[in-house]
Amino acid sequence: MSRFTKIALIGLILFPFAFLLMLSLGKQWPYPAIFPEQWSLSNWQLVLGGSEGLGNSVLVSVLLSLSVATLSTSLSFWVSRHIAYHPKREAWLSLAYFPYVFAPVILAACLQFFFIVAGLYGTFGGVLVAQLFITFPYGVIFFSSFWNERLRSMEELVKTLGGSTAQAYAKVLVPVAKGALMTCFFQLFLISWFEYGLTNLIGVGKVPTLTLRVFQYVSEANIFLAALASCLLILPPVALLWLNRAVVFREG
Amino acid sequence: MLTIKNINKQYKGEAVLQGLSFTLRAHEMLSILGRSGSGKTTLLKVLAGLETADSGQLLLDGQDLSPVPANQRGVVYLYQEALLFPHLNVFENIAFGLRLRRRPETEIKEKVNGLLQRLELPGQARKMPEQLSGGQRQRVAFGRALIIEPRVLLLDEPFGALDAETRRSMQQLLKRVAKDFGLTAIFVTHDLKEAMLMGDRLGMMQNGQLKIYGNRAEFIADESTGALDEARFWTDLQGLKLTK
């Protein structure tokens, strides 16, 4: 690859990020100016000052996505193992595709009644449970190809060597699956992080994730705050991507 | 002493083990010869507690093994593949059983280093499994089993994936180790010569039924073991050479 192509490619990848950062620092941008007429840190000061509630949205989003990714990854890892070795594996696995038959919003509409009855409507816990309906089956499908006869034999070997099921998980299965677990966690974090339909419908605006804030600013035509929220939206996934790359690819 | 009484096992209505009864004396290695699908692996898995027999009794030194879970039987099952844990080096693979039992570090070091010497693996302690040859991996697998001093060792075609030369050296090593450690073991194989070489006593498994022979001569005399066919083949070959 030539130096020019490399620079062009890097520029192409970085352009949207640089553009969003530029917009977040702008104040007025009348047509046909190429750049905003005023530059200011006031939008960022708003975030740091907490008056726009964006700091709270960052916290809610991080907490929600970390919880969803952690719960779904660990639960789907455990459940997928049982499905993989079950005589009716295919039937169980086909159930995991069920939530994807509908769009997330339709799924949320179907579940809405049950969430109201359970008192989960418009709560953090409700959004968390709603997102699990999408992320958990995804995790099960993700891990379904991970389990095989070799791993099963390893697990049996641990038992004949004197280990319990918990020790088989802690000392062999989890360390062997570390790369897959990290990748699944990362993907589920992203699904949760950028989730809009379910979060909006079940959260009814009371669980203000960053993704919801971006859509809110866009619908208000507040491009500067929308850009700022987008910048914040990108940072955690980028950090996680770097971490994922550093751990998984170094081991690979 | 391991006593098996009338063990039966079915899979989807098909009998895999049919009325198996035999006794394995302490410090004895029983070779079981059998083709694929004869029920050898199922028998070993039942003994290890990884499968449950439909009926019958398993007694180890008088203790009924049926209600005892696999991790409390002291019966180690070794597969054809070494199945070393890929995230652990040779030392940690061998030490695995002792770590499960939370043994003191000094004991672990002493025992693992001793085994590394006896299994002819000096200088390999820090290597990862993928850096070892097939034979070395199988030695580490033996070490990992032997370190916990199993009451019975079950070997399911452990040399099946090795080349002929490595296989021979591993057979000799296992014979030596079995004698040194006073192992009580069942060695299953589909290789006639290997069965004869490894076993103190010999058995033949066919269609879920096991026949144990009183001595080597009985085993050879039985047409179904293939030993006579093998002998005839070599005699005929010798005859051909002589006539040429």
Contact state of A160 with B81 under an 8 Å Cβ cutoff: no
Task: Identify the pLDDT of residue A205.
Answer: 83
| Phi, psi angles (nearest 5°) of residue A242 | -65, -45
Parallel, antiparallel or unpaired: strands B29-34 and B55-60: unpaired
**8 A C-beta contact, residue B92 and residue B43:** no
Write the residue in A154, A167, A175 that is nearest to B83 by C-beta.
A154
Task: Identify the pLDDT of residue B241.
Answer: 64
Does the residue A13 lie in any domain? no
* CA-based nearest residue to B31, from B147, B164, B187: B187
Contact state of B79 with A153 under an 8 Å Cβ cutoff: yes
**8 A C-beta contact, residue B36 and residue B28:** no
Number of domains in chain B: 1
- Residues comprising chain B, all counted: 244
Token representation of residue B57? 């009794």
Chain B residues within 8 A (CB-CB) of chain A?
Answer: 48-50, 69-77, 79, 81, 83, 85-87, 96-97, 99-101, 144-145, 148
Residue of chain B with shortest Cα separation from A151:
B83
Question: Which positions in chain B touch A156 (Cβ < 8 Å)?
Answer: 48, 50, 70, 77
Contact state of B96 with A156 under an 8 Å Cβ cutoff: no
> Which domain covers residue A79, as residue numbers?
53-251
Beta bridge partners of B156: B188
Does the residue A5 lie in any domain? no
Q: How far apart are CA B57 and CA B20, in angstroms?
A: 10
The minimum CA-CA distance between A29 and chain B, rounded to whole Å, is 56
Beta bridge partners of B153: B76, B185
**8 A C-beta contact, residue A140 and residue A79:** yes
Q: How far apart are CA B241 and CA B244, in angstroms?
A: 5
Does the residue A205 lie in any domain? yes
Q: Is residue A43 within a helix (H) or strand (E), and if so which, with residue range?
A: helix A42-49
Contact state of A161 with B86 under an 8 Å Cβ cutoff: no
Region of B123 (left: φ > 0; alpha: ψ -120 to 50; beta: rest) is left
Task: Identify the pLDDT of residue B36.
Answer: 84
The minimum CA-CA distance between A157 and chain B, rounded to whole Å, is 7
Write the residue in A150, A160, A176 that is nearest to B70 by C-beta.
A160
Q: Three-state DSSP class for B191?
A: coil
Contact state of B79 with A167 under an 8 Å Cβ cutoff: no
Q: How far apart are CA B103 and CA B117, in angstroms?
A: 20
Task: Identify the pLDDT of residue B103.
Answer: 95
Amino acid at B36: S
The minimum CA-CA distance between B169 and chain A, rounded to whole Å, is 24
ipTM confidence: 0.89
Q: How far apart are CA A164 and CA A155, in angstroms?
A: 10
Q: Within its chain, how far is the Cα of A154 from the centroid?
A: 32
Write the residue in A150, A160, A175 that is nearest to B87 by C-beta.
A175
Q: Within its chain, how far is the Cα of A109 from the centroid?
A: 21
| CATH code of the domain containing B30 | 3.40.50.300
Contact state of B50 with A176 under an 8 Å Cβ cutoff: no
Cα three-residue angle B167-B112-B61, rounded to 5 degrees: 75
**8 A C-beta contact, residue B21 and residue B7:** yes
Question: Which positions in chain A touch B86 (Cβ < 8 Å)?
Answer: 176
Does the residue A114 lie in any domain? yes
Contact state of A171 with B96 under an 8 Å Cβ cutoff: yes
Task: Identify the pLDDT of residue B120.
Answer: 87
Contact state of A161 with B83 under an 8 Å Cβ cutoff: no
Number of domains in chain A: 1
Does the residue B230 lie in any domain? no
Q: Three-state DSSP class for B16?
A: strand
Amino acid at B83: L
Q: Which residues of chain A have pLDDT under 50?
A: none
Mutate to test the interface with A, among B11, B51, B84, B87 (most CBs of A within 10 A): B87
Write the residue in A159, A167, A176 that is nearest to B70 by C-beta.
A159
Cα-based torsion angle of the residue sequence A38, A39, A44, A49 in order, rounded to the nearest 10 degrees: -60
Question: Which positions in chain B touch A167 (Cβ < 8 Å)?
Answer: 100
Q: How far apart are CA B155 and CA B170, in angstroms?
A: 13
> Which domain covers residue B201, as residue numbers?
2-212
Q: Which residues of chain B have pLDDT under 70?
A: 241-244
**8 A C-beta contact, residue B213 and residue B203:** yes
Task: Identify the pLDDT of residue A38.
Answer: 84
Q: How far apart are CA B151 and CA B49, in angstroms?
A: 13
| CATH code of the domain containing A81 | 1.10.3720.10
Contacts of B160 by beta carbon, 8 Å cutoff, 6+ apart: B80, B189, B190
Find where tokens 């070395």 sit. B136
- Give residue-wise pLDDT tens across range B129-148: 999 998 899 999 999 999 99
Q: How far apart are CA A185 and CA A191, in angstroms?
A: 10
Contact state of B86 with A167 under an 8 Å Cβ cutoff: no
Does the residue A36 lie in any domain? no
- Give residue-wise pLDDT tens across range A7-47: 999 999 888 888 888 888 888 888 888 888 888 888 888 77
